[in-house]
Amino acid sequence: MFKKIFILVILSILTSSIFAATEDNNTSVAAISEQTIVASYDELPIKLHKDQVFAVKIKVLGKLKSGVVLTYVCTNDIGIKQLNQNTSFNIQDDGSFILTLLYKVVAQKVRTPDIMVNFTGGNEKDANILEGRTYDIEEVPESPFSTGVLAQSMKINNKKIDKYDSSNNIIVLDISAKLANIEDFKIKNVAQQGINNIKQGRYESSILYYLVIPATQDTIEFQYFNTSTDQLETVAVKLDLSNIEDKVSTQTDLSPKSPDKALYVFIVVTLIATTLYAIYYFKRERIFLILIIVVIGAGFLFLFVPNEQAKIKKDCVVYLLPTESSTPFFKADIDTPVEKIKEADGYIKIKLKNGKIGWVRAECVSKN
């Protein structure tokens, strides 16, 4: 009898334990099924290089009702600069939400941020925290052709070549790149170069880049570090030297005055002198001979009178022609003295101290 009672007690204890375990398991499942959102990394770089631009993507899954709000907070990041400050979650075709954060490496030690994804709607609240990752920054291989740009891809959209002076050409390249520090683009061993315009998109950015090269050079080669293939990629640009617009007259045509002004003076002096001589021929009065000599002398003196002195303001860009789409060839680092030649359609033709001549917007010029 005692033995049967003992067995029944043991069975009762085991049964109670099984039911208790089942209840605990059901509670855990219910908690998971009622969880509002699940956030995870959709893209995170494996390694990083100095100056690299990269993306961190967060994917959120969950049943989000109307009126709910997804927000995020980033903390504890080190050695990176966020490039898209005011970004938010975007809904995808499959009902998920994607957050894309763009950063640039600015130090040797980097840690991506801890990201807290918050869900709020009515009386409901939930949050997921994704821990950041620490990186030891890797060096980019050295190359004499490197531009200092790191990108997933790069391409030349368009190019233009013009004559700069008697021995050089100026080239303008429309360059676009994906996830790139394209603002750092610079070709080594080129004295005159610069970026005229930068356009930043979500993933792709572009620049209008110009450089001055010898008139006989028919190829431009440079390299960028491809972050997808983890190696240097070479870009070669072929130039058609047979199809160059001659812009020499817009830059070096004053010596010491522009030919158009010299021609104008010559025509005026010739007309006046001819008229005075015709009068002298009929009247035979010496005064008209003296006037002819005075007019010719005044014409020569006028040719050597200096142009009006002025200055162009800091950051002013000098163009080859007086148009918005013209090629830039100089940017003033400081207020720069120039000679003012003439005005046309909101632009002023100026001469730099090095003898180059170009056009600037009228608002860039002030009195010396």
Segment 246-287, tens digit of pLDDT: 443 344 443 334 455 667 778 888 888 888 888 888 888 888
Which residue's structure tokens are 């009195």?
Answer: 367
Task: Please enumerate in sequence order all residues whose Cβ is within 8 A of that of 309, keeping only pairs 6 or more positions apart, or say none.
Answer: 337, 338, 339, 340, 368
Domains of the chain: 39-136 (2.60.40), 146-246 (2.60.40), 249-367 (2.30.30.40)
Q: Token pair of 352, please?
A: 């730099």
- Is residue 40's pLDDT more than 60? yes
Report which DSSP code applies to 245.
Answer: B
**Conformation bin of residue 260: beta by default, left when phi > 0, alpha when psi is -120 to 50:** alpha
Which is nearest to 272 in space by CA: 301, 289, 292, 300? Answer: 292
Each residue's pLDDT tens digit, 62-79: 766 667 788 999 999 999
> What is this structure's pTM?
0.61
Mean pLDDT value of segment 1-23 = 42
Q: H helices of 202-285, where?
A: 259-283
